[in-house]
Each structure stands twice: as C-alpha cells, then as structure tokens.
Structure 1
C-alpha cells in the first residue's frame, strides 16, 4: 500500500513546493528530479505488483472521507466565487446542484457507512499508473522549457508559472488517486479535482477566449459530476452499509444491481472524455499552452473518462444501455474523424483525432466483451503515447516556426529533420500497421462481428478508419516534402525538450514491439480475473506484425540520414520551366512560386455541418440509455 500512497501524495507535496518557489532554475531542477522519481516509482509498482492480480487495502474510511468532503466544499466555494466574478451563472447553478447533492449524502446518508477496501491495485491500475507516471512526468518536464518560451512569445500573459506547475502536479496526484481508489466516493473526489485542474489550466492565459473555454469545460464536466453524485446517492439509498460503494463489490453484484449507477457514471465518463455532444470543451481547450493539451489528451482528464467506462464494462455486457452508450462512442468516432479532415490547424486535427479515438474506446468498453475490452485498453495505451508525442512536437514546431498550420509545415524534414521523423513515427503510431492503434482496431472489428448490431459497428469503424487514413496521410506528406528553402532550426531547441521527445518516440516504438508482452503480462490476466475469459491474438498474426514493423520503420529512420547534397529533381509543371528554387512564369508573364496545398473538403466535412448531425444523434442515444435506466429503476 505504501507505493500507492507515495504515488498519490508525493506529487501533492511537490506541487506545494513548486507553488512557493520563484527561482526558475531551482523549479526546473525540482520538476526534473520529481519526474524521474515518479517515473521510477511507477515502474517499481509494475515490477512488484503485476503478477499479484487485484490486491485490496483497508484504509480508514471516516477520517479520510471527512477531509475529502471539506476539500470538495472548498472547491465548490472557489468555483462559486469564480462563477459570480465572471458572470457564468449556469456554472454557478451546476455547482450549487452538485454541492447540494453531496451535502445530502454527507449529512443524511453517509453515517454508519464503513467501506473497508478503499484502495486497490490490479493490472489495469498499473497500466494507468504507468501512463500517468511516465507520460505525465515527461510532459511536466517538457513544460519547464516550454513555459519559458511561451512567456517570451506572449509577454501580455501574466507569468503564473508557479501556479501552472502546482496545478500540473496536483493533476497527476488526482489521477493516481482516481485509478487506485476502490471507493466510489473517493473516485468522485479525485474526479472533481481533475475537473478543477483542467478548468484552471485551460484558463491559464486569462484572456477572454481562454476564460470562456475554461468555463465551457467546467460546465460540461459538472453535468457529469452531477450524474456521478446521483450514482453515489442511489447506491447509499440501496445499501446503507456502504458495501456497494466499493467498486469491486458493485461490479460483481450483478447487472440488476449495478446497471443504474453504471449508466450514471458512464454519462460522467462521456462528458469527461469529450464524447458528442460534449466534444466542444476539448476543442476549446486548445487555447491553453501545449503541455496542457498533451496532459488532457494523453495521461489525465479524458483518460479518466474512458478508464471508468472500461471498469464498468462487465456490467454493460449484454445490456441495451451498454449498446446505446457504445453507439454514442461509435458515432463520435465516425463524425470526429470526418471533421478532422476539414481542419488545417494542427492542434485541432489532434483534438478531433483524440475525440474520435476516445469514441472507439467507449464503443469497445460499453459493448463489453473480453476481446473488445482488450482492444479498448490497448487503444488507451497506444493513444496516450503517440498523442503526447504529437502534441509536444506540434508545440515545438509552433514555437520555432511561428505557426501551427499544417500548410506551413512544408519541408519540415529540411528545417526540423529530427522533429519531422518523430512526428512521422507518432502519426504512424496512430493508424499504420503494426502500431497499436491499428492492432486494436483490428481486434475491435473481430470483436464487434459477434455482438448485437455488430455489422453496424464494423461499418462505422471501417468508414471512420478510412477517414483517419485520409487526414493523417495529408499531414505526413507535408512534413516529409523536400523543399529547397528553409534553414535548419533544430539548434534552437533545448536539450530538455529533446530528451522528452526522444523518450516519447522510443516509447511509441517500444509499445509496438512489445505489445504481446504487455498483453500477456497485464491485459490478459486482468480480463481473466474480471470476465473469467481472455482474448488472444493468433500467433501467426503476431509474427506478421513483427515482420511488418521491421519494414515499416525503415522509412522514418531513413529520413535521419537524408543527404542535403542529394540529387533534387525539379518539379514537373506540365512543360513549363521551373527554377531550382521553384519559381515559374505564370499567366500574363507574372513570376510565381510553385506551392502545393491539401484539400480540406470544408463543404463536405465542415465542423458545424458535421456537428449538426453528430450532436443530435448522440443526444438521442444518451436519452435512450436514460430511458432504459428509468425502466430499470421502475
């Protein structure tokens, strides 16, 4: 239990130390040292606990719960103050509703409750701890230099780096607490801290746009928080002893007892993981500094949403409510993938790609067969690694070139060759064989075939996957296009950033190379423990994937050895002469520069147009799940 408590409490201690420190150099050193310690502690947990299965720890409930409740009320008061200050009255109302529900629970229902096993650790918790501990720490380390550059580029933004790193490490602590808690009221406490932390980080710049987007995220996540609070109140009324508040007890209690809280908590998961119609908050979060985006997308916040839905997958298995929530994820996957085609802003492409992949995870987890849960967990792993790498690379490119537009990334292989290679590997990790996203989609197709409405799910996955190929390959073509202009900018990137980006690139490749080991040591034992059955890929498939990865990696790594004095062929312009620097004589004898540009199909896949389809459809599916829920209660 000491290792779990260390991972929860150590980032909190570091957070308060960083809040008090004004010296930039000392702050950098403490963040770096803390990142190493948290990463090592996460790996130590893996080494010591992966073979033990699920282990539960008795932690005193009452004193800890009282401290958590006091902090929750403090958070509520802070949010009420900020809501009134910025005239966000809907946020104020939602905070009041949620606080009133928790006050009712605390003063009329929680007395006499004595859940025993309040902390636990199993293979899925270890996977999540590795994602939080390693990727989250690397992002925090990257942020030290990034925030220095950020304030150099944005002198109008008030320097609040002490506050930034304080919230970042609190975020990591809350995520550790969330994945190690077996008590739903404790999970709710950490859940709300992630909501507060994301709200504060999104609004970091204090601009009007950042403030509005931060409140949008807050309001949507408060809706989920109210549903989560409703689940806790329901369980307290059904079982006054508090036994059903224990996650393991609730899940094994049977679908009849668990389906109501499962649907309510899944709704909270949909808001947290930015599924439609709640996707706009995650897109709006792009206004925050890049490390915030990387944190939200890879190791915190949205992963909390899909984590809790995966936990309840045994309850959803074979239920109509599970199918309805699964279709919310499937529709989100398809629509968000289509929207990504119409975006030229790199961070928006990454945002909609994240929303799409989270949708696929939700679909797999909600249908809930062992094979689909296997696919969901693999998607969580590979998405976390590759997406954190891509966000940090885009942030680096933006600071070095002054633009995050994909069309301005022409010739990145010339200007930032190592960054271009890293981005190429990150993108390959998102959709090319044999990287994990494609492996997981492959497994998902096999899993969906044998489920109700399986052909509908497979069709959605096939079309969504095709759209994914479209927007990633467009971007890939831009970054590896060789151009005769542009000077190398890599010497301006700090060593600390190189270390983080190199580690994430290595993790992307290592995860693909060793996915059978990850599956055999962690995922399959977890599935066996939860479902009494597991899912395996055929040995022949593993051999094929091993051969494919050896061939696939030839291209990106060969780019490292691109010779600047190599032979360059002039562009072909239908017989018109083109100079070596790509100038040609256009109509009326006007000299022009030859350029290439992607199609974005805004008329077909524009954001507003697609959301007009996706949002209402997902609302109807959520209402269907609620109707099924009402039927279960009655």
Structure 2
C-alpha cells in the first residue's frame, strides 16, 4: 500500500538527479531505467489494489499530517515568490498580481481556519485514481524515453544553451506532482500539486526562451493562476462554510442528493478544472504550448496537465447534474467541443490541429462530468483512457515527422508512405483510433451520446452530432494525405531513432490492446468505481453485447491485416492526369503548354471555420456563462443572492 509514496518520492529524486547530471549517455540510461521502474511500480500498484478487492485505500497520516502541510505551505510560498519575481522581471505584471492575491490568502487560511479543520483521510486511492496512475506512470514514462532521442536532435538544431538537464528535471517533477494530485483527498494538498504542475508547464513552454515562448508561457501561467484563484475560493468556501477540506466529503454530499448544498464550492473547483483542461475561454494557453518541444506537448496533452482538469471534474460529477454548477459545466464543455472541432477543420499545422482536437475532446469529457449520471461518468472515464494513449501517439509521431521531413504541415505529408512507411502506419493507427469504429474513442462518444439522451439533454446531443461530424472531416483529410502514394521518394526510415520507434510501437500496441480488453476494463474497473461513488448498481453506458461486438470487429480487422501482411502484388502504373503526363508521374502539360507539377491539396474552409472566428464566438459565450454563474455564487456567499 505504500507504493504510491514510493512513486512520488522516486520520481522526485530522479528529477533532482537529472538536474545535476550533464553527460548525455548517463542521462539517457537514468531516464530509461527510471521510466521502466515507474511503469512497473504503477502496474504493481494497480495489481495490488485490484487484488485487494477493496473499493479504496485510505491514509489518515495523523502523525505526519502537520509536518507535510507545513512543508507544502513553505514550498507554495517560495513558488509564489518565484512567480512574482518572474512577472516583474519580464513585465508580465498580471501574473505577479494574481500570485500576490493567491499566496497570502492561502497562507492566512492555512494558519487560521484551515489549521483547525480535521482531515480524516488525507490520501485516498480509488479505481479512478489507479486509472490515472497507470496513465501517468506508463504513458508519461514512455514520453520521457521518447524525449531522450528527440531532445538530442532538437538541441542539434537549436542555437542556444543546452538546458536539457532542466527539461528532464521538469518532466519527472511533473510525473511526481501528478501522482500526488490524483490521490490527494485533502484539497489543500491537491492544490499544492496542482500549482506545481502549473509552474512546471510554465517552464516547459518557455524552454527555448524565445520571445514567443516567453509570451506563451506567461499566457499559460496567467490563465492557470486564474484557475488557481478559483481553486482557492473553492477551498475557502468549503472550509469556512462546510468545515471540511476532504474531497470525499464533498462528493458524499453530492451522492446523498445534497448536491445543491455544496454547489458553490463545486462551481469554483470546476472552473479551476476548466482552466487546467483548456476549456474556453481559457484554451489559448494550450494552443500557445505548441512552441515547446514535442515531448512537452505530448506530456501536457495526454497524461498530465489537461488530464488533471478533467480528473477533478469527473471526480466532482456526483455534485453536478441539473444544478447551476452542472449546467455551467455542460454548456462550457459543449461550446468548447463544438467550436474547437470546427476550428480544427481550418488547421493545416499538424500540432495545432492536435491541440484543437485535444481541447474538443476534453470538452466532451467535461460534458460527461457535468451531466453527472452514472452512464455519463462511465463514458467520461473511457474517453480519458483512450484519449491519453491515442493523442500521445499522434503528438509523438508528428514530432518525429517534423524532424525527418522538416515540416509539421499536413500538406507536406503526402509522401510519407514512400519516405517513412512505418511512421505513416503508426500515424494512421492513431488517427483511426481517434474517430473510426471499432476503436475506443468512437465507441466512447457513442456512449456519451447515449448518456445525454437518457438525461434529456437534447441540445447536447445536437452539439455532439455536429462536433463529431467536424471531427470526422478533419481526421479524414489528414488520413487521406497519409494514404497518398507519391513515387520517386527515398525511404529515410533508417534515420528515425530507435527510442522513438520503440515508443511509437508501444503506444500502438497499447491503443489496440485497450480496445480489445474494453469490456474487461469496464466490468472490473469503471463500473465498480461508479457503483462505489454513486452507491447504486451501476451499468455501462453501452451493453456488454455491444462492447463484445466491438472487440470482435477489432479482432477481425487485426486478423485481416496479419493475413495480408507482407503479401503484396504490387502493380505500378502511371498516374492518370487526363492524358497530359510528361513521363515522370509527377508533372503534366498545362493548358498554357507549360510543365506543371501535380499536387493534392485539402480544403481548410478558413473563411467558414477560421480560428479567430471560432475563438471570438466561444470566448464570448463561455465568458458570459461563467461570469453569470460566478456572480450568482458570490452574491450567495455575501448573502445578497438567491439559492440554487
């Protein structure tokens, strides 16, 4: 049962060691060995937990609670001073102002009211926590292994000081903080780990220290400090008005049918989750994170930063539903899913498309949390699992593609099957996993739609239908580009580092394996969690028959692939170009009797779904919703508003 503490401490110790380790070979060995140990420990914890037959493990930590809380308070204060200093140094005064508000408020609360509130269980490990531990421990560790090779090539082309020791330090601190965050039942402790992920993300995004990187890193910091302030207000209201700092107590109120009683702290905690999950109007920080090296993008978007936000919202689902907090959550998530999906249509930059896709998919998970029913939570958890694997695969494949062909633009990827056939295949598996049957993401969306229909949220059903249509549109365009065969290109697959190929292969196998064991994951992990939280006999959003059919379909597809693997009857013919071919399969005679190179181009519909247009609509709508709800909540706190 102490494995979680070993994971937190081990990742931290490795981070410190990597900070002082300068030699490439030694660093690579330490990263790979540590990643393996973390993955194995995560799996061991899961096996131990599920083998125990218990719904949760609780740790009171009576003897060390005060010492740990005081240490966290000191570290929080130091981190706040760092933020204030950096804000002044780079003339980003808003960051300093938010830190100056947040830090003294938490210090005051923890030394006065918070100090006298008894916390029965500071650490609680349940099935959802174990799912997150596996995602962080396995997917996060694979990303660090990928980074060993990627960052060598990155540094080779980067005209600046070698800051890789600091980079890997941040990555492992991130993992350590995430392990702590997902098991913290004391929301003050959760806030501590929450803020560490914010600061790590700030430094990772600003890694190159270019003007663009600095600006984008401060945008992330400022927006997440807004979320941090909202988290602080949630802590204060929960502590002062409800005399508790335990997340489990808040959830218990919700499952007991008293969700309206705790709707005010829930509102502020959900807003904090929305900022971390990059929901509109806070989403611009995630788009700005694209300036960072690809391992950063993968880490932020798949296993750590954004997953912390949806983890909290899914945790709070019993307190949501048809109350003010739940309606705000559903509307913001719905608008974000729809408009981010539309905005993704207009993107030809692979990483930026993946960013909008991430924002949209997180919006769908937020919707599920907002609905707050057993079926919706089931769909939300499944979406978290599948998205973590497939999206990390896509980000890492795009990073490798950029290093090999010198571009991340989708329009430059139509020769991938000739240049990088294995990598192109990996990317196609990732894309298919995001939107095609019988892969898990599509089935989970189906389950989410079923949950929406059952709860009577027909507006959300329309939103998911239109948003999913947009999703199919932009993924199909990319898939078509990868499928195009361009003759006369040299195979450069040998240049791909073996670490990157290994990680790609592992993620592909994981994506397929999780789909195959989908019914088992549902029956053994997700349904028992929902039953324990809601206190009912939960059933999956999809019947077991449907899940079995999905697995059979996937198995048939795999068998067909294996049957025809390596058995090709390749026939090379000239490309049809209306009979105007000039003999090399690449050019044709144009109408003005001049040679023209043939090319295939996608339509990005920028005049209809341009990023700025979608952002303007989304930011205005979601800001209005959040501000209205916050105003009512503040009015209620001050005693001048109505009830919920």
TM-score by length of 1: 0.96
RMSD: 1.6
> Partner of 1:587: helix, strand, or coil?
coil
In the other structure, the counterpart of 1:57 is 59
Structure 2 counterparts to residues 396-411 of structure 1, below 5 A: 396-411=400-415
Q: Aligned partners of 1:584 and 1:601: how far apart in 2?
A: 27
Which of the numbers 260, 266, 273 marks the counterpart of 1:269? 273
Q: Aligned partners of 2:119 and 2:563: how far apart in 1?
A: 57
In the other structure, the counterpart of 1:501 is 504
The answer as to whether partners of 1:224 and 1:272 remain within 8 angstroms in 2 is yes
In the other structure, the counterpart of 1:69 is 73
In the other structure, the counterpart of 1:545 is 550
In the other structure, the counterpart of 2:5 is 5
The answer as to whether partners of 2:146 and 2:499 remain within 8 angstroms in 1 is yes
CA shift digits 1:228-286 (9 cap, x unpaired): 0111112221245xxx2111112113324421111101000111110011111100000
Q: CA deviation at 1:157?
A: 2.6
Structure 2 counterparts to residues 422-571 of structure 1, below 5 A: 422-452=426-456, 454-533=457-536, 534-536=538-540, 537-553=542-558, 561=566, 566-571=570-575
Q: Does 1:251 align with 2:255?
A: no
Which of the numbers 103, 119, 123 marks the counterpart of 1:115? 119
Q: Aligned partners of 2:119 and 2:372: how far apart in 1?
A: 27
Q: Does 1:217 align with 2:220?
A: yes
In the other structure, the counterpart of 1:356 is 360
Residues 579 and 535 of structure 1: CA distance in aligned 2, closer, same or farther (over 3 Å): farther
The answer as to whether partners of 2:231 and 2:272 remain within 8 angstroms in 1 is yes
> Partner of 1:111: helix, strand, or coil?
helix
Q: Aligned partners of 1:102 and 1:542: how far apart in 2?
A: 47
Bigger shift: residues 413-422 or 534-543: 534-543
Q: CA deviation at 1:461?
A: 0.2
Bigger shift: residues 544-553 or 509-518: 544-553
Structure 1 gaps of 5+ residues are none
Q: Aligned partners of 1:623 and 1:176: how far apart in 2?
A: 32
In the other structure, the counterpart of 2:197 is 194
Q: CA deviation at 1:555?
A: 7.8
Q: Aligned partners of 2:41 and 2:115: how far apart in 1?
A: 36
The answer as to whether partners of 1:177 and 1:187 remain within 8 angstroms in 2 is yes
Q: Aligned partners of 1:555 and 1:595: how far apart in 2?
A: 32
Q: CA deviation at 1:547?
A: 3.0
The answer as to whether partners of 1:80 and 1:95 remain within 8 angstroms in 2 is yes
Q: Aligned partners of 1:320 and 1:103: how far apart in 2?
A: 30
The answer as to whether partners of 2:36 and 2:141 remain within 8 angstroms in 1 is yes
Bigger shift: residues 378-387 or 494-503: 494-503
Q: Aligned partners of 1:560 and 1:349: how far apart in 2?
A: 31
Which of the numbers 169, 188, 199 marks the counterpart of 1:185? 188
Q: Aligned partners of 1:580 and 1:568: how far apart in 2?
A: 13
The answer as to whether partners of 1:320 and 1:628 remain within 8 angstroms in 2 is no
In the other structure, the counterpart of 1:102 is 106
Q: Aligned partners of 2:564 and 2:32: how far apart in 1?
A: 30
The answer as to whether partners of 2:381 and 2:526 remain within 8 angstroms in 1 is yes
> Partner of 2:114: helix, strand, or coil?
coil
Q: Aligned partners of 1:386 and 1:331: how far apart in 2?
A: 23
Q: CA deviation at 1:557?
A: 6.6
In the other structure, the counterpart of 1:84 is 88
> Partner of 1:584: helix, strand, or coil?
strand
In the other structure, the counterpart of 1:31 is 31
Structure 2 counterparts to residues 355-374 of structure 1, below 5 A: 355-374=359-378
Q: Aligned partners of 1:363 and 1:553: how far apart in 2?
A: 33
Q: Give aligned pairs, total.
A: 628
Residues 558 and 418 of structure 1: CA distance in aligned 2, closer, same or farther (over 3 Å): farther
> Partner of 2:624: helix, strand, or coil?
helix
In the other structure, the counterpart of 2:179 is 176
The answer as to whether partners of 1:19 and 1:163 remain within 8 angstroms in 2 is yes
> Partner of 1:36: helix, strand, or coil?
helix
CA shift digits 1:109-146 (9 cap, x unpaired): 22323312101111000000000000000000110111
The answer as to whether partners of 1:417 and 1:560 remain within 8 angstroms in 2 is no
Which of the numbers 267, 279, 286 marks the counterpart of 2:283? 279
Structure 2 gaps of 5+ residues are 640-644
Q: Aligned partners of 2:424 and 2:242: how far apart in 1?
A: 56
Which of the numbers 364, 377, 383 marks the counterpart of 2:381? 377
Residues 554 and 284 of structure 1: CA distance in aligned 2, closer, same or farther (over 3 Å): farther
TM-score by length of 2: 0.95
> Partner of 1:276: helix, strand, or coil?
coil
Q: Aligned partners of 1:444 and 1:342: how far apart in 2?
A: 26
Q: Aligned partners of 1:18 and 1:627: how far apart in 2?
A: 46
The answer as to whether partners of 1:346 and 1:404 remain within 8 angstroms in 2 is yes
Residues 403 and 492 of structure 1: CA distance in aligned 2, closer, same or farther (over 3 Å): same
> Partner of 1:410: helix, strand, or coil?
coil
Q: CA deviation at 1:171?
A: 0.2
Q: Aligned partners of 1:631 and 1:252: how far apart in 2?
A: 25
Bigger shift: residues 570-579 or 140-149: 570-579
CA shift digits 1:510-561 (9 cap, x unpaired): 1111111111111000000011231222233123212321344478778964
